[in-house]
Amino acid sequence: MARKAKNDNAPAKRGMDPNVMGLRGEVIDQPITDTLELNFMPYAMSVIVSRAIPEIDGFKPSHRKLLYCMYRMGLLNGARTKSANIVGQTMHYNPHGDAAIYETMVRLTRDNEALNVPFVDSKGNFGKVYSRDMAYAASRYTEAKLAPICAELFRDIDKDTVDFVPNYDNTTTEPSLLPTTFPNVLVSANLGIAVGMASQICGFNLAEVCQTTIELIKNPDHEILSTMPAPDFPTGGEIVYDPGQMAEIYRTGRGSFPVRARWRYVEKEHIIEIYELPYTTTAEAVMDKCRDLIKEGKIKEIADMRDETDLGGLKLAIDIKRGTDPDKLMAKLFRLTPLQDNYPCNFNILIAGSPQVLGVGEILTEWIAWRTECVRRRVYFDMTRKKEKLHLLEGLKAILLDIDRAIRIIRETESEAEVVPNLMIGFGIDEVQAEYVAEIKLRNINREYILKRTEETAALAEEIKDLEDTLSSKRRLRSIITDELKAVLKKYPSPRRTGIVYAREIEDLDEGPEPVDDYPVHVFLSRHGYMKKITPQSLRMSGEQKYKEDDGLGWYWETTNAAELLLFTDKQQAYKVRLSDFADGKASQLGDYLPGALGFDEGESFVTAVLAGDYSGSMLLFFENGKCARLPLSAYATKTNRRRLTGAYSDKSPLVALLPLEGEAEIAVTSAEGRCVVFSSALLAPKTSRTTQGVQVMTVKKHLVVRAQFLTDTAIQNQSRYRVRSIPAAGAKLTDADRGEEQMTFI
């Protein structure tokens, strides 16, 4: 039922959809799906298509508008101008405000060092991409012009190579794409976050991209990794290279790869100097993380650390204590700080207005096809202009035989409007040719001038024929693209900045987990996942253990600080908990909430925990369907520092219980029907796969297994009643005495 507005005679609000508000001000109920379709979807598409995702030329609209405005201002060959002037002029194309325009310009500058190939030749303080706190100066203090390589962005843009569209207020036009002569879409790094999708394209080396494109034009089956082995970043650093991993990223357009800093050791001063950082981090983030690790006592080899970045470039100086091995210290820093980080790839670009995630080969193929069309349009433009010129010269040639007659026709014509028609009749030429003849200056009406002009017709005819052949030949069009790419290679040399180090070469440098202080501890883990690690001395001085109102003790172990726990969840995942990563606590505290500390997935719940020890024992996993799997703990031991293990157990039936097993023991399994089976764990053979369900231990029909315990932990007195020599078995009904339940009596 529609709800009446307060004022029945109030007109409908301007811009309001008629389905939402009636003409008399009535508010109409509208399904949320219609609201999303009418209001949210246009906004989402606008952000995706017109703001956040780069196109095949490698630019977002904000980049393209800024560079084109600078081109129109004559800043490709002219002197630098104030950045504020550029920002103001760009607002004719980009109405999103001066701050956003200037931030866009800063990233494109040479001094900011955010791009492999900067497009803006800058002067002044434009900050640094590797510094979080080094702010750029205001636009009124800095100056800029286009870098020389921008000539490759605007090559023949006035020859109809790309479409032009009206700007936001229809006062001028702007290019929909820039006719770049090289695949800038891969050369320039790009990050965009739209609505429901994102794009993150890493930068590649200009020379490698151009050479790879040339090879692909020659041979579509060219192996890309052979000429373009890995991305290249303006901040340098090193890529920890895995050929298989990189090949998968090149194929799918998704994935990630590790990048780490470059460093050197100054032996005389006992100083480690970090002079190149991963593209994903900043100097301040590295410094902050190192300070935190020093405060927590996880790094004790560093005496002092400072940022000595100056005009010469980045330099983080680390004073190390005597006796410290710099290689081992750096291996630790790579493991614990952003000095080594993963760069995520999501090659999402707009192809003909549609967002697509493409591999490197697919992107280059799309670029070659698009660039071929640009060259074809340019050749067609040149051919059309030459045909027009030839047509005019042919008209001029027609009057060569009788110049005096042409002069007489013009002189004897009474009105100016009749000059062109009379020339058309007198020489049999069309209106365009006659107009051209009529506009010739008096000083040029001589045989020598006309002969020189008409001699061009033969050359023009040959050029036109050659251009027609080019248009009809895909091979010749591709040859033009190849020549342009070779010219870029020669004119703009670009040595590689980011090094490549194979993963197998650095494995031995990592000394593994940091040695920890090993001492006795008592571990209390509540049913809801709160853990307390308490030393024996503190435990003796403590009072009652504190838990939340609806919580309580679930597990207790006496172990050491170097031990590890395995937490199992209802999502078939296991989380590794190093006790040394947690501070010693007290009984009066709630403890550390492990699901939060370990980063459980949304909706994931804690089920049970096992003390891993030295991973020498085994576990029994019981499922509702009556099956049991015996798995060695070593199946959960990892050589890396991973905390999360997926596929920790089978997902075919819910997990009921998990029992750690050091030696053989007798197990009691109970069903919801009240039946019980007692058997020896020796009947269960160990399995190797974590996702196995094992073997059937209890035959269940309608009622599922609800409990599995060590026999010694149960209240069963008549054990022989339930013990079996082979499995599976249906079991026997539990008696009241064996249930361990106290009956209520009336006094």
* C-alpha span between 386 and 391 (Å, rounded): 8
| CATH code at 59-178 | 3.90.199.10
Q: Is the pLDDT of residue 486 over 50?
A: yes
Nearest-angstrom CA–CA distance, 204 and 261? 18
Residues linked to residue 259 through DSSP beta bridges, in sequence order: 239, 341
pLDDT tens digit sequence for 559-582: 888 888 888 888 888 888 888 888
Q: Are 550 and 611 in contact (CB under 8 A)?
A: no
262-338 is classed CATH 3.30.1360.40: yes
Domain at 370-491, CATH homologous superfamily: Topoisomerase, domain 3 (1.10.268.10)
Q: Are 94 and 63 in contact (CB under 8 A)?
A: no
d(CA 392, CA 414): 25
Q: Structural domain boundaries of the chain?
A: 1-30, 59-178, 262-338, 370-491, 516-613, 614-747
Torsion, CA 502, CA 504, CA 506, CA 509, rounded to 10: 180
Higher pLDDT, 87 or 541: 87
End-to-end CA distance of the chain: 65
Helix residue spans in 520-617 (DSSP H): 536-541, 594-597
Taking only the tens place, the pLDDT of each residue in 41-58 is 787 777 777 778 999 999
Cα separation, 710 vs 696, whole angstroms: 18
Lowest-confidence segment of 250-259, 649-658, 736-745 by average pLDDT: 736-745
> So what's the pLDDT on residue 747?
42
Sheet holding 618-623, edge to edge: 655-661, 618-623, 627-632, 695-696
* Averaged pLDDT, 140-159: 96
Query: Residue 222 pLDDT > 50, yes or no?
Result: yes
Could you tell me which residue, 183 or 11, shows the higher pLDDT? Answer: 183
Average pLDDT over residues 709-715: 87
Judge contact between 121 and 150, C-beta under 8 A. no
| Residues whose CB is less than 8 angstroms from the CB of residue 296 and which lie 6 or more positions away in sequence, other chains included | none
pLDDT at 25: 58
Q: Given the residues 43, 136, 141, 593, select the one marked as catalytic.
A: 141
- What H or E segment, with its residue span, contains residue 177? none
Question: Tens digit of pLDDT for each residue in 602-613?
Answer: 888 888 888 887
DSSP state for residue 584 in the 8-state scheme: -
Quick one: pLDDT at residue 443? Answer: 78
Q: How far apart (Å, rounded) are the C-alpha atoms in residues 668 and 681? A: 10
The H or E element that residue 161 is part of is none
The rounded distance, in Å, linking the Cα atoms of 356 and 366 is 11
What Rg, from alpha-carbon coordinates, does the chain have? Answer: 39
| Residue 189 tokens, joined | 């790094």
Name the residue type at position 673. Answer: E
Q: Would you say domain 614-747 falls under CATH 3.40.50.300?
A: no
pLDDT higher than 60, residue 11: no
373-392: per-residue pLDDT in tens?
A: 999 999 999 999 999 999 98
Is residue 400 pLDDT above 80, yes or no? no
CB atoms within 10 A of CB 519: 11
What span, in angstroms and rounded, lies between the C-alpha atoms of 91 and 188? 24
- Concerning whether 102 is annotated as a catalytic residue, the answer is no
Neighbours of 185 (CB within 10 A): 25
Question: Which one is predicted more confidently, 747 or 251?
Answer: 251
pLDDT digits (tens, 9 = 90+) for 613-672: 778 888 899 999 999 999 888 888 876 666 788 888 888 888 888 888 888 889 999 998
Q: What is the pLDDT of residues 260-296, one digit of tens each?
A: 999 999 988 889 999 999 999 999 999 999 998 888 8
Structure tokens at 628: 């049991």
Mean pLDDT value across the chain: 87
pLDDT (average), residues 212-236: 95
**What is the model's pLDDT at position 287?**
94
